[in-house]
Structure 1
Amino acid sequence: MLYEVEHRWRVFFLFCLAYLYKQTFAIPGSALLNVLAGALFGLQFAFPLVCFLTAAGATCCYTLSRLFGISIINYFFKKHFESFQSKVSENNDGLFFFLLFLRLFPMTPNWLINIASPLVGVPIHLFFLSVFIGLMPYNFLCCQAGVVLSQLTSLGDLFSWKVVIQLAVGALASLIPGLYFRRRNSVMIESKSE
């Protein structure tokens, strides 16, 4: 950590570049970089930073896809693309909340949403906001884990009640938005069917 203290701005700049590169080209590893951000920069700085970098990098991916993505999507992911396109058109009146739900639902492939969104007509401002807000619970949980891990001094600290409770509370907090949007969508579906 001594290097990070002496060269804080270099570390910050390199971290931001690595994060944006990873997001722009849909390379896996967000969790690792979020944990690293929490360990390096602390929760108060790391959490808003990774939320912004996630949204900015995903928006770069969106832009690249708008320019070059249609042939890739049609070749590799045609079935998924058509399914996503129909879901977007079904939820066009509440598109922001649909995108937010997709981001909050942990099994959704974010990289595919990033690539397909411009090709199905998702406006860039809704895309950016849905990434920024929708991935907040995930980003918070990972940054918090990085903070907790950076404070460990021995392997025994990892199994302390304080650490277990902190991680459990973080995990439970990350479930709340997903449950809320699942409930909201089921109510919307029931009202549409009536």
Structure 2
Amino acid sequence: MTDATTPPVPAWKRFLPIGVIVAALAAFFGFGLQRYFTLDSLAANQETIKNYADANLLKTMLGIIVVYAAVTAISFPGAAIMTLLAGFILGTLYGGISVVIGATIGATIIFLAGRSAAGDLLAKRGGDTVAKLEAGFTKNALSYLFVLRLVPLFPFWLVNLAAAAFRVPTQVYIFATFFGIMPGTLVFASVGAGFSSITESSDIGIGVLLQPAVILPMIGLAALSLLPIIFKSALNADDKEPS
């Protein structure tokens, strides 16, 4: 008679995904690769990069998708800068879409890895913040995750692991992540495209800074930064209302 009980997963298998992520992050900084992902580096080579991107749009988009997926998967603390760089190279639309796809892939890798190891630890040892996340995911995983992606109330990596710990369905996670991060990503990419307009100008003065391609993305970024404050104020107002 066979035992139908599922055998426990060896500890090394459960922590292998997290170990790979930590090793990749250490290698990234150990080899000094972060120096290539700066606006200064791009500005110094802007013409060469732009010419290549114009002649090889799909290859450039694929490259950004792969790099951004890796950056997200190892929880590299420079995602906003990477989005600016994508907008700088490809413009708002193509740069933004490339980032959305790459970020969704990378976040899904973290999500699946979190199910095997870190997610369990987070669920068992989390504090009040994790308890709030658990309540939201339990009530309505799709709408709650969509709001968390649209309005960054918690760190991106924490939302990834919390969604894994509290067993959000994979298809729900991917859908909410892809569409939830899109508005903010396009705003950041447009800021990067605005920087590109500034560096391409031979006469950088107040007139350049007031161009729509520059000032509108900055207004959008300012509005985006206010969303968490507005959302938290609305939640606090609801909590204070008598039942």
How big is the shift at 1:137? 3.1
Instruction: Provide the C-alpha distance between the structure 1 equivalents of 2:237 and 2:92, rounded to a whole number of angstroms.
Output: 35
**Is 1:37 aligned to 2:37, yes or no?**
no
Q: Which amino acid aligns with 1:148?
A: G
Distance 1:172 1:39, change over 3 A: same
Q: Give the equivalent residue in structure 2 for 1:26.
A: 75
Residues 127/187 of structure 1: CA separation in 2 closer, same or farther (3 Å cut): farther
Give the whole-Å Cα distance in 2 for the aligned partners of 1:161 and 1:175: 20
Task: Tell which structure's C-alpha radius of gyration is larger.
Answer: 2
Given candidates 124, 128, 131, the residue that maps to 1:86 is: 131
Q: Hey, what's the Cα distance between the residues in 1 that align with 2:187 and 2:107?
A: 19
Matches within 5 A, 1:116-131: 116-131=162-177
**CA contact 1:65–1:115 (8 Å) conserved in 2:** yes
Of 103, 112, 116 in structure 1, the residue corresponding to residue 158 of structure 2 is: 112
2:9 maps to which residue? none
Matched letter for residue 53 of structure 1: G
After superposition, give the CA deviation of every residue in 1:30-54 in whole Å (9 maximum; x if it has no partner).
1122112212222222223322222
Matched, 1:54 2:114: no
1:65 matches 2:114: yes
Residue of 170, 173, 186 corresponding to 2:220: 170
Deviation at 1:10, TM superposition (A): 3.3
TM-score, normalising length: structure 1 = 0.77
Counterpart for residue 143 of structure 1:
189
1:42 counterpart SS class: helix
Q: In structure 2, what residue type is equivalent to 1:151?
A: S
Whole-Å separation in 1 of the counterparts to 2:161 and 2:80: 20
- Please tell me the residue identity of whatever aligns with 1:87: K
Contact 1:101 1:181 survives alignment (8 Å): no
Normalised by the length of structure 2, the TM-score is: 0.63
Inter-CA distance 138–159: structure 2 relative to 1 (3 Å threshold): same
